[in-house]
Amino acid sequence: MKICLITGSAGLIGSEAVAFFASKFDLIVGIDNDMRQYFFGEEASTSWNVERLCERFSNYKHFNLDIRNQADLQKAFEEYSKDIALIVHTAAQPSHDWAAKEPFTDFTVNANGTLNLLEFTRQFCPNAVFIFTSTNKVYGDNPNFLPLIELEDRWEIDESHPYFKGIDEMMSLDQTKHSIFGASKVAADILVQEYGRYFGMKTGTFRGGCLTGPRHSGAQLHGFLSYLMKCAITRQHYTIFGYQGKQVRDNIHCYDLVNMFWHFYQNPRDGVVYNAGGSRFANCSMKEAIKICEEITGNKMNYSYSENNRSGDHIWYISDVNKFKEHYPEWNFKYNLQDTLSQIFEELKHR
């Protein structure tokens, strides 16, 4: 039997991975205990997605367990052992704002949970491919010290600058403000690399920009485009935090990210790191995203501006994905920003 184990399987990337890999593996083992509801409230619960996955995919088996619980996690690995061919680790506390409220919870989920998964992979299925969903927050606020230019609707960087095409994997992780969340993800990020380099395991770290898609349970503290579109549809108030609303994010559709995982799985490497975002293909400022949401919904958004930017937040971030493209030239983007927001709109209308 060939098994794919997915953590955070009811979340945005996890559930997309279930759908993508269900036809490619004999069994999908999903691990998710709906901590997203604990982090962000009832509206962010992923229980609806667990029900959908169980109904739709006959080879999906769900485990309601906490990745911090070594005893329960070990049982799952012992049960399937060397039949596990792929681990896709997407479970996380994902908000840098929330992390400051409960640093112990944030660190134990993001860092200790990742260590548990790596060690049980090494013990029970050392030949499996291990894929980790990291974040561009590992670079801290270093991107904010680039020579940025203020335009009418966005911050930008000069076309002559080496990072105009995007920030690559060589940007320093040191001497920068990460946020507590960013620090816990750095710890996990380095652990995944180390298990690849030290133990020779097939590990891939994907440092995501804004990960997005139609099945995101968006909340104010996490899920930028999903929450923005939810507010556009319902006319719920939205707050822009700092930078004149011109802060730029690149946005990668969950399908495109999971397709990166698939290409890596077929030809894995040891301890490699990739930046994974929308690149120049799909990026926007807050002001630009609001305009698109208003065009799609036909609603005028109810929003206000706060001068207080989120601590350590990026003013401008666009990923350079050329390293991954060089290693896996057959991969490319499928969904642009307009496609993604239209899909989110259609999903939220019927949820």
Kindly report which listed range (79-83, 213-217, 263-267, 282-286) carries the lowest average pLDDT score.
213-217
Token code pair at residue 190 = 């380095």
pLDDT at 334: 97
pLDDT, tens digit, for every residue of 123-156? Answer: 999 999 999 999 999 999 999 999 999 999 999 9
Query: pLDDT-based confidence at 205, cuts 50/70/90?
Result: very high
The answer for residues whose C-beta is within 8 angstroms of residue 204's C-beta and 6 or more apart is 129, 130, 131, 132, 196, 261, 264, 268, 269, 272, 273, 274
Residue pointed to by tokens 């909340």: 219
Helix (H) or strand (E) holding 153: none
Q: Give the total number of structural domains in the chain.
A: 1
What would the 3-class secondary structure string for 254-296 be?
Answer: HHHHHHHHHHHHHCCCCCEEEEECCHHHCEEEHHHHHHHHHHH
The stretches of 81-223 forming alpha helices (DSSP H) are: 96-99, 103-107, 113-124, 179-199
Q: Which residues contact 91 (CB under 8 A, 6 or more apart)?
A: 7, 8, 11, 14, 31, 32, 35, 67, 109, 113
Question: How confident is residue 219, by pLDDT bands cut at 50, 70 and 90?
Answer: low
SS3 assignment, position 236: coil
Boundaries of domain holding 125: 3-350
Structure tokens at 317: 């971030």
Phi, psi of 31 (to 5 degrees): -120, 120
Share of the chain above pLDDT 90, in %: 91
Helix pair angle (179-199, 113-124), 10° resolution: 20
Closest CA to 188 of 99, 125, 64: 99
pTM: 0.95
Q: Is the pLDDT score of 51 beyond 90?
A: yes
Phi and psi of 258, rounded to 5°? -65, -30
What does the pLDDT read at residue 313? Answer: 87
Indicate which CATH number applies to the domain containing 189.
3.40.50.720
Whether residue 217 is predicted with pLDDT greater than 80 in this model: the reply is: no
Closest by CA to 170, choosing from 319, 4, 1, 16, is 319
**Pairwise CA distance, residues 195 & 163, whole Å:** 30
CA separation for the pair 161, 146 (Å, rounded):
9
Count of beta carbons in the 10 Å neighbourhood of residue 113: 25
